[in-house]
Amino acid sequence: MNLSLDFSFYNWDLISNFVLKGLYFSLMLTLVATIGGVLFGTVLALMRLSGKKWLDLPATIYVNGMRSIPLVMVILWFFLLVPAIIGRP
């Protein structure tokens, strides 16, 4: 019984056109999301710690609102609503 696998379909064009581009996109998306999350979170934290009611109230509503929504629901909303908003299926 010969259990050798056939990897002849792998070539450099396949890897460079799809795998490496996907890896690059994933890394850039992670970097942008991390930087954006840190900046936005810092702004929200400063708003809540400011002691001014007109800054504290919107930040509190946003934070408590986001904490009460399950992440799966947010992903579903983006999956269904973003294509409808931008007009592309």
Give residue-wise pLDDT tens across range 1-50.
Answer: 677 887 777 788 888 888 889 999 999 999 999 999 999 999 999 999 99
Between CA 86 and CA 82 the distance in angstroms is 6
Q: What's the one-letter identity of residue 82?
A: V
pTM, to two decimals = 0.69
Q: Contact at 8 Å (CB) between 38 and 30?
A: no
Per-residue confidence (pLDDT) for residue 4, from 0 to 100 = 83
**Confidence at residue 1, expressed as pLDDT on a 0 to 100 scale:** 66
